Amino acid sequence: NLQILLKRRPVGAPVREDFEIVETPMPEPGEGQVLVRARYLSLDPYMRGRMADVKSYAKPVALGAVMEGQTAGVVVTSRAPGFAPGDVVLGGYGWQRFSVVGPERLFKVPEADPPLSTSLGVLGMPGLTAWVGLEDIGQPKAGETVVVSAASGAVGQVVGQIAKIRGCKVIGIAGGAKKCDFVVKELGFDACLDHHGDLDAQLDAAAPEGIDVYWENVGGKVQAAVFPRFRDFGRMVMCGMIAQYNEAPGADAAGAPVGPNLGPVVRKRLRIQGFIVSDTGWPRYPTFRAEMEGWIRAGRVHWREDVVQGLSAAPEAFIGLLQGANFGKLVVAVD
Ligand code: NDP
């Protein structure tokens, strides 16, 4: 079995030497388990958290253990009821070609229509994150102004498109003209602002009315620019703060505190809430999937993936994800 292990805990940005690629014996499924051959591996920002030995909502990956991740692939052997060899599934585990998993979070999915890789993106955990976070926290209403950071990414692209379906004015924030062009022309957002430019001026021009819902994917200076522009009773969906993952908590690379002054929370009666998709998301996966497949078939939701070839390319691709090198949902085609 080809596996990628966590060799060392990164200090700051991860580097190639923090990972180790090894060949190991084929795993055997026990009673009630399924052996899955991965076709696609999802690479996601949360994996940076699993590389660090800090207290969080999930345990860190142990040194020398296979990197955590979700895969989509094909059942090779099954000792669990309901799954048979050849079934195409979402829910394999880890940065590895073969994995043994229980049936609890294994979903049978179509192989080709839509393509299997979408089960890791628009029809997978990132899509589910967007759907759950908007339903439970953002609750966008027609006519409201919604701002989404990391707008061209896996979660952001879905958030903005759902908000458009709900009748909102949607403004994305992304890094660079290419990504912004895609967000407006392909995804149909009303505007997209480049965070390499002057965000304050761009936000004033694009949303003079202020912001009702901010979907936070980034943190740092993006958060600081968006936050003062909330309207009364705004909602801030705290999904992630990727700009800060390589740094010490609450500080930038120079150790200075980052993030906004939250004083106006009271005056404006804002609601700020964090969430983790796995808290309540997976039992709702079939409902989400049915609705999202409907939108895709109706041409109302589009997606973009960034597919990297070969499992051994995963470390470099993951390092790039934390610097904005990906354009769309990052997945690895394992073989
Ligand atoms: P993306 O596909 O959006 O990829 C990450 C993007 O983040 C990059 O392409 C880049 O976009 C942006 N980025 C990276 N580094 C920086 C930086 N230093 N400053 C500003 N932008 C940066 O990833 P996902 O959609 O998978 O994840 C988006 C966010 O959602 C993350 O914060 C993630 O942790 C969070 N998340 C939370 C979940 C939950 O349950 N709460 C579940 C899933 C994801 P650009 O070039 O446009 O800046």
In the 3-class helix/strand/coil scheme, how is the chain assigned residue by residue? CEEEEECCCCCCCCCHHHEEEEECCCCCCCCCCEEEEEEEEECCCHHHHHCCCCCCCCCCCCCCCECCCEEEEEEEEECCCCCCCCCEEEEEECCECEEEECCCCCEECCCCCCCHHHHHCCCCHHHHHHHHHHHHHHCCCCCCEEEEECCCCHHHHHHHHHHHHCCCEEEEEECCHHHHHHHHHCCCCCEEEECCCCHHHHHHHHCCCCEEEEEECCCHHHHHHHHHHEEEEEEEEECCCHHHCCCCCCECCCCCECCCCCCHHHHCCCEEEECCHHHHCHHHHHHHHHHHHHHHHCCCCCCCEEEEECHHHHHHHHHHHCCCCCCCEEEEECC
Atom of ligand 1 nearest to the CA of 154: 25
Closest by CA position to 221, among listed 257, 191, 192: 257
Q: Shortest CA distance to 94 belongs to which of 63, 51, 65?
A: 65
Number of residues in the chain: 335
CATH 3.40.50.300 fits 2-121+304-333, yes or no: no
The number of the ligand 1 atom at minimal distance from the alpha carbon of 326 is 9
CA 318 to chain centre: 12
Q: What CATH architecture does domain 125-279 belong to?
A: 3-Layer(aba) Sandwich (3.40)
Q: Are domains 2-121+304-333 and 125-279 of this chain identical in fold? A: no
For residue 150, the CA-to-ligand 1 centroid distance in Å is 6
Query: What are 229-239's pLDDT values in tens digits?
Result: 999 999 999 99
Distance 290 CA to ligand 1 centre (A): 25
Give yes or no for a contact between 28 and 54, defined as CB atoms under 8 angstroms apart: no
Amino acid at 15: V
Pocket of ligand 1 (CB under 6 A): 44-46, 126, 129, 150, 152-156, 174-175, 179, 195, 217-218, 220, 239-243, 275-277, 321-324, 326, 329-330
Domain ranges of the chain: 2-121+304-333, 125-279
Ligand 1 centroid to residue 209 C-alpha, Å: 26
Of the candidates 321, 323, 325, 324, the one whose C-alpha atom is nearest the C-alpha of residue 42 is 321
* CB-facing half-sphere around the CA of 299: CA atoms within 13 A: 0
Q: Whose CA is nearest to atom 17 of ligand 1?
A: 243
pLDDT at residue number 54: 87
Distance 327 CA to ligand 1 centre (A): 11
Structure tokens at 104: 């609890």
Neighbours of 254 (CB within 10 A): 7
In the chain, which stretches have pLDDT less than 70? Answer: 249-259
Measure 284 CA to ligand 1 centroid, in angstroms.
23
* Residue closest by Cα to atom 16 of ligand 1: 243
What pLDDT sits at residue 113?
Answer: 86
Give the C-alpha separation, 286 to 293, whole Å.
10
Distance 323 CA to ligand 1 centre (A): 9
Residue 257 has what pLDDT? 65
Neighbours of 133 (CB within 10 A): 25
Whether 303 and 266 have beta carbons less than 8 Å apart is answered as no
Q: What is the pLDDT of residue 261?
A: 77
